[in-house]
Amino acid sequence: MARIELRDVVKRYGAVEVLRDINLDITDGEFIVLVGPSGCGKSTLLRMIAGLEPITAGDFLIDGARMNDLRPRDRDIAMVFQSYALYPHMDVARNMGFSMEIRKDPTEERKNKVAQAAATLGLSALTDRLPKALSGGQRQRVAMGRAIIRDPRAFLFDEPLSNLDAALRVEMRLEIARLHQKLGATMIYVTHDQVEALTLADRIVVLNGGDIQQVGGPLDLYERPANKFVAQFIGSPTMNVVPVSGTEAGVTIANGKTIALPHLPDTQQAVEMGIRPEHLDVVDPGAGDLNAVADVVEHLGSDTNIYVKVDGVGPLMVRKHGNIPAKSGDRLGLRVRSEKVHIFAPDGTALRRAA
């Protein structure tokens, strides 16, 4: 396994700086997920680690050894791509063991490693099939098996589940989590999927515009975002953000309602308030902090999403567990759970909560 370090890493294409001053320590056996909007540099960073893109400046180290100038095959890293890239004329066993075949490793050793990887991934009964006879999830498992065979120091995953349907994504997400538990390997995983990031990661790295916005555990980022971007990017549905004016003890919303926030010092700097949809309680009209009219109601069975228009504030979203008997046009009261509120300063940074 491997400890990976990125020190002041920069990537430029001509005059365009895609990544700047990337500093990240990944411990041996850690599962790191890179997330961010399209164009933020997450796949470019993964390809730089793999050796598929040159590093413009800075250092990339594995177990203390500088890797910048090593060829991809000399870095002892395996990569699983979005595309399965299986050889259509080879069966599962040969696809998985082809890297050993071209190295002319002993046939018996190759067969044993293929059998072990197939057993790990639940492919033992499928080793004689061609890729065209496999489902999408099975093909992705073969691609993962091909990486396992190499016994690399680290695994890199570049949106490996994005081509699968919803049910297969859930199945393969569980497979990857189990694989990490079994192998204890260092893994770096790129995705735009919130659920994958929050459920798989030991730590999440949030990128935007070529910079690292925040690094932390899934719940740390969800409950204590460093800034407005992270607050709105992490979590689905996204956080509601409304303009406010700061007071000594809390904030005042545009409708004139003041919300006390004893857990947040220095609220006089506040210009915006963030509240997640699940932290707004539905109460009788006039009984809460906000008066609203239901615009669109989505009954999902396990949850109800209510898109509302709030007097003097604008559109918000409310999410409640279970089936809420609400319909379009209903007047509702909303109570803000003040202990769950996030407050943002003019530069977008989140105000630090009291210990």
Question: Can you give the pLDDT at residue 10?
Answer: 96
pLDDT(225) > 90:
yes
Residue matched to tokens 């890729």: 131
Q: Tell me the domain boundaries of the chain.
A: 4-228, 237-351
In this prediction, residues 107-119 reach a mean pLDDT of 90
Q: What CATH number should be reported for the domain whose range is 237-351? A: 2.40.50.140
Picking from 161, 315, 353, the residue whose alpha carbon sits closest to that of residue 238 is 315
Confidence check: pLDDT of 17 > 80: yes
The pLDDT confidence band at residue 28, using thresholds 50, 70 and 90, is very high
| pTM for the model | 0.89
- What percent of the chain lies above the pLDDT cut of 90? 59
Q: How far apart are the C-alpha atoms of 352 and 355, rounded to whole Å?
A: 9
Q: Which residue has the higher pLDDT, 5 or 80?
A: 5
Mean pLDDT of 332-352: 90
**For the structural domain made of 4-228, what CATH number should be given?**
3.40.50.300
- In angstroms, the CA 303 to CA 299 distance is 7
